[in-house]
Structure 1
């Protein structure tokens, strides 16, 4: 008998053992597990035992029994890892919108139903149901947009691991804002239940797209474009030190506009986090069909594991099935990932270019150091393939010896988590250990020597990347300002990246949430520069936060560019070398308001009051008004100021003082945030409907208007808001470009003044990068910014920096709310 004959006989024996065991159960017998296990060939005993225990466990549970691992360990004391693996299969699959099975809320334990309200969110539909809970379709009645809300079922809401995964997804995805990543808007906690509010994506996940495809697989060009967009999403995630760990077709959405969206960061892991944050030692998280060899064996993983999973997903899109689906059970699929060569796509699909195979083979190399060393590197080869420039052959790697394949066909169920297989693989000798000594960087990524494009040239700068950061408000009273500022910046940066970047470098933006809290903002700055190693910060939001973050930047020689604030502390004379502003100052804005009140509306200067936040932001605005009324012989102690505490809504005293007739106030300059400003206007107008209100731009025009729409926009009619950017619906050349790119990269966002400001900031910063040339560091960029003189980006004023001028524009525009709740432009002069 030859060796191959012997192998075939062992295959039949292994398959026969499992089939007979199942047949006995089907016949109503209770087969003896020990007898069947003793018949297994020694070289496959552990795999057969795992399948036998898994089948036995499922059958006993179907009879109402609930055996524990201990029950089996007592019977097989030497096989504890195998027993743990058999207990691993957990079905946690969400049924997506559009699938054949109708969602049945009766099968879940949730405390909210369609038609009810969750805060400002109206629950309108059920998008999906899974073992962990429900995903609802909802409507945000304040922002007026469709959202999705993920809610854990009652039985999982007290499960520490389930809750940890839900919050992990919110924290990781919520920190990223990228056109190819589903956005997280909010996290709610109501009576102990946690809800994650996220972007609702109209479309199908790629598994559904494949099912609906007439051929069962995608055209190679479409598949390649999808893979490129996934690379962009992973580049953004990896730039923040996040590893997704579950890249697969079900976690990638294709919208009706053909935009790719990566979702489900429930398993995501920071390269700085302990593995214990989500799991116990020896547990494997992921989906077997798309898991990397190191993931299969529960070894330490880094971003290169996501590269492998994306390669497997690309294979699936091109063929209609995962690379090792035909290997059999989950154990055998994972075994194949570690030992079997990746099958050729073009052999079965000759219409697919050989370049697709080369990309897949490199992405799915068994050894991490033989793969693409970044998602950006993989994207370059994908782009070259589309442009008919064949990608280079993969770096030579040791040949993988194909392991014997056992064609087991016993179904083990749809597992999402497979536990303790690391020990099983080690005992079976299924994973060949190859040393990575000398190839680990501080963030866990493996690199390929001189060929690596991510070796830092300067902090935050590599041969192909410039990493920027921002600390901003993504939650709290100013969340809409932070979100929109980032969206505007990213819309321009994404267009630059699609055009090849700046001197061959892509621009990446790391976003951290500070909730408009100075202490948190300072903590974020330290993390951005010291841990995340960003090159510069751009578009930070708020004066109180800038009061500490700008000092940190200047003290350490870090560039602090275009914050969303008009604070005078950022406008020293002569200017701080490391602080640059785009916008007009609050003094410019308040001076324009006072001049308009006095000279156009004929309001006496002594009848003007200030409603201001009780902090550096309010102080700065009040000082601007005081300076503006001084030429009218009004001293600072004669100027009435009322206010409120930051992040609070305590305005009772402010309202009563303003409406007191003895103060004879006719106009108010508001230096405040949008939520509290709207409440103040409504309450004052209820007593004095003819009061004139003017607010500086930080109020956030769109969010401000939305606050009035909830109870009728008439309350806001006539309220003036100064702007530091031109009207966002104008046909100015630069504004047209802004709207086009916003629609292209972030179509779910409406145009607005704040996102336009972010766009302009990114546009100016990019011009500085171009002028600085390829030899980039902080000082060369600052010198380049000083050379920007009369830059015309199509917004009206020419923009200029110099060593003595670090504010590019002094221009202030006037807008006011109509009774319909929209803004109209008017001349402040």
Structure 2
């Protein structure tokens, strides 16, 4: 094969812009094209001051490529070519052994020898070792218990091999500093760094779950369904946005660095490679150093160029690819350098070629996230999330993939058909290739000019029922053709059934309206953002809605704790906050807040009806009624309602027994213990929890006290509660009272029949239920206001129209009414009770 000279046709005026990264990639390119590049030719024009570093890198590349072809070149072979560079050649061989080895991945057996003498039950400072959670190339992770604060933690212990390595220790400390500055539900928290007996520990939040590599490996198909994968990446975008806001770039995003918790939320971990706002002198990784995992590296990381937040976007796009297919984009290449070359030059494979049943929009999103040029990618995690949410909610991504630069059009071989196999190996935690650079300033200027093209614009997701239009808005969220609404809800986590069913109910109504031509010629779209029942996230969603997405109003937000901050934000900014799924008193001021409207009865209405039923109908002495409530605004409101009802019977709130638990947690041991210790004085319990906690609480109490009477307010989620009892034993749910703010969903009332027909037509996969019926009624009330407001729609005209609604009969029983002094449409409370078959029967509360 003829040797080639890569410099023969090069313009001498750009010699200064040549860098080691370019030489390495050119070197690989020649191998890829079937050539045998000559090291000596590549070294001709390298300035003497950079020769050792560049030669070491090219030797590494040459060694890896030749080994991949079955050759076994010796160190002496290279020394014969470069007799004056013996030390450099030796260093190159040593480096390749220490970093990427012989192109095999580090397996579990290879990292067993961490030489750690700790055993279960040992004490490390104030931490008691309780389990081994996992192992990695840098050390081992223990499950431990903080004996002072009394909480479960995870301890990442740096192995003895790395404890004396200043670089490894710096990475450990950098991870603590990086993540310690960020507090976010989608990032594993770090509490402390501990030094004990010459060993270093990272004290982290302990989360139950598995990393996504383990999830994929254990899944039946070796991949996730597209909806789950999309939601996971949405979570990652949320965490990534928080990190980027603090100036942190993760730089090693991959399935193994994402934890899927038991409540199906995703958390980013292992920020050991994160780049923060460090000086050039202290940064662990700079231009000229490749640091990360090749399968998920961005092109600029592969080139050892400067990284920015879009580098994480690229890696997250590659991770999305892996979740959907079960393997990384270029996993078939099985060679680190070839993979890196592919990230820089080969087009990203189309997932539809492998899995045509996936939504095409998923591929569009991946192509944009993995664009070769940084400027062609999503420019922020928030922008990435917008398109993911649009697809998840039935819409389309906002940008076009036509302009994404692939640099070269090279055929990509088909990826392996067995995705599980790839995830059964543990990827090396860190691939390090030192690359010296020169002429870097001029090169960066050139690259910046090349990347100075305009980025793809974001037009916002096209949600269910909306039509793409170029018509300018007439008012925020309103065009000639559309009305854009938003809802921040618990779409995942312990309360997800409430959020999902509320959304389905609202959309069923809006779909019917849209099919009939809309309201005044405008169709209604609904964007759904997941807040997981977390106030801080809900507030972010509200800001996103009104400041970035230009929604007209929000409808059907779920929960009192979230409403405490979201309704305030809406009111302060004169945004309409309509029909939240909450009976909280904070949403029912007297006189009412102009911008907050409720459909449903309040928790005070519900608990008063429940207490009346217990005392009057069941003849339970009021002093023998206790309260089990969530420790937050939702639970407090329910307790206040019970206390108000009890005052009519001469019982003060201080005399009531109240037990509870923390929001989004399942620990009820103390609550159960208190009730059992006071059982002689308790005959009935009013519950203000979520469904999973309620079912567990009832089971544990009924196991000890079978005759105990239970009642729960509607927010518990009736269908979800029934399903929870079905799983743990329907007999435990028998007799549990649940108050409702809508009629029974199987009622033959005109409005309920209309709801069931629309639900079956538009969302046949959903069964009728109380929560989706409430969403449907809320949407009907809102639609009536839109009709009355006329075509010249804005927030104030809609509020005035709502105030004019009198005697609106939706065929559900109570007559809907609003006025300037009445912002709660209904005070009606219905009674239902679970039977031994898990079905709800009507109970007369009067």
Counterpart check, 1:434 vs 2:445: no
| 2:43 corresponding residue in structure 1 | 41
| 1:488 corresponding residue in structure 2 | 501
How is 1:69-148 mapped onto 2 (pairs within 5 angstroms)?
89=100
Shift of 1:566: 1.5
Contact 2:188 2:269 in 1 (8 A): no
Cα pair distance change 1:39/1:723, threshold 3 Å = same
Shift of 1:586: 1.6
How is 1:488-637 mapped onto 2 (pairs within 5 angstroms)?
488-489=501-502, 507-511=527-531, 514=534, 543=560, 546-547=563-564, 550-597=567-614, 600-601=617-618, 620-621=637-638, 624-625=641-642, 634-635=649-650
Counterpart check, 1:642 vs 2:657: yes
Shift of 1:49: 2.3
| 1:299 corresponding residue in structure 2 | 306
Contact 2:188 2:204 in 1 (8 A): no
| 1:50 corresponding residue in structure 2 | 57
Shift of 1:579: 1.9
Shift of 1:775: 9.5
Shift of 1:723: 2.6
CA distance in 2, matches of 1:427, 1:197: 46
CA distance in 2, matches of 1:686, 1:173: 40
Shift of 1:788: 7.9
Shift of 1:639: 11
Shift of 1:565: 3.1
| 1:23 corresponding residue in structure 2 | none
Number of equivalent positions: 699
Cα pair distance change 1:160/1:695, threshold 3 Å = farther
CA distance in 2, matches of 1:785, 1:269: 54
Cα pair distance change 1:278/1:508, threshold 3 Å = farther
CA distance in 2, matches of 1:171, 1:769: 46
Structure 1 residues not aligned, in runs of 5+: 19-35, 63-73, 96-100, 114-122, 136-149, 177-183, 213-222, 254-260, 404-412, 441-445
Cα deviation code 1:12-38 (max 9, x no counterpart): x979999xxxxxxxxxxxxxxxxx987
Cα pair distance change 1:575/1:489, threshold 3 Å = same
CA distance in 2, matches of 1:269, 1:191: 11
Shift of 1:466: 6.5
SS in 2 for 1:565: coil
Shift of 1:592: 2.6
Cα pair distance change 1:241/1:691, threshold 3 Å = closer
Cα pair distance change 1:488/1:417, threshold 3 Å = farther
Contact 2:709 2:736 in 1 (8 A): yes
How is 1:301-450 mapped onto 2 (pairs within 5 angstroms)?
301-303=308-310, 306=313, 310=317, 330-331=336-337, 334=340, 337-338=343-344, 340=345, 342=347, 366-370=372-376, 394=402, 417-419=430-432, 424=437, 433-435=447-449, 446-447=455-456
CA distance in 2, matches of 1:372, 1:186: 26
Shift of 1:696: 2.3
Shift of 1:685: 6.7
Contact 2:485 2:524 in 1 (8 A): no
CA distance in 2, matches of 1:447, 1:191: 41
Shift of 1:581: 2.6
Shift of 1:585: 0.9
| 1:810 corresponding residue in structure 2 | 827
CA distance in 1, matches of 2:317, 2:331: 14
Contact 2:741 2:830 in 1 (8 A): yes
Cα pair distance change 1:303/1:598, threshold 3 Å = same
How is 1:718-797 mapped onto 2 (pairs within 5 angstroms)?
718-725=735-742, 734=755, 756=772, 760=776
Cα pair distance change 1:599/1:192, threshold 3 Å = same
How is 1:162-201 mapped onto 2 (pairs within 5 angstroms)?
196-198=207-209
| 1:408 corresponding residue in structure 2 | none
Cα pair distance change 1:423/1:626, threshold 3 Å = same
CA distance in 2, matches of 1:527, 1:313: 26
CA distance in 1, matches of 2:638, 2:807: 28
Cα pair distance change 1:420/1:711, threshold 3 Å = same
Cα deviation code 1:589-610 (max 9, x no counterpart): 1333244345544557787676
Contact 2:688 2:716 in 1 (8 A): yes
Shift of 1:570: 1.6
CA distance in 1, matches of 2:228, 2:539: 32
Shift of 1:433: 0.9
Cα deviation code 1:69-94 (max 9, x no counterpart): xxxxx987999999989965499999
TM-score by length of 2: 0.55
SS in 1 for 2:657: strand
CA distance in 1, matches of 2:208, 2:650: 49
Cα deviation code 1:664-723 (max 9, x no counterpart): x76554456778877886798789765544332345557767898899765654232213
CA distance in 2, matches of 1:167, 1:797: 58
CA distance in 2, matches of 1:790, 1:171: 55
CA distance in 2, matches of 1:672, 1:207: 33
Shift of 1:511: 1.9
How is 1:703-714 mapped onto 2 (pairs within 5 angstroms)?
none
SS in 2 for 1:509: strand
Shift of 1:507: 1.5
Per mean C-alpha deviation after superposition, the further-off stretch among 530-539 and 803-812 is: 530-539
Structure 2 residues not aligned, in runs of 5+: 10-22, 32-37, 73-84, 121-130, 142-152, 164-168, 193-200, 245-249, 411-425, 463-467, 516-521, 663-667
CA distance in 2, matches of 1:606, 1:235: 48
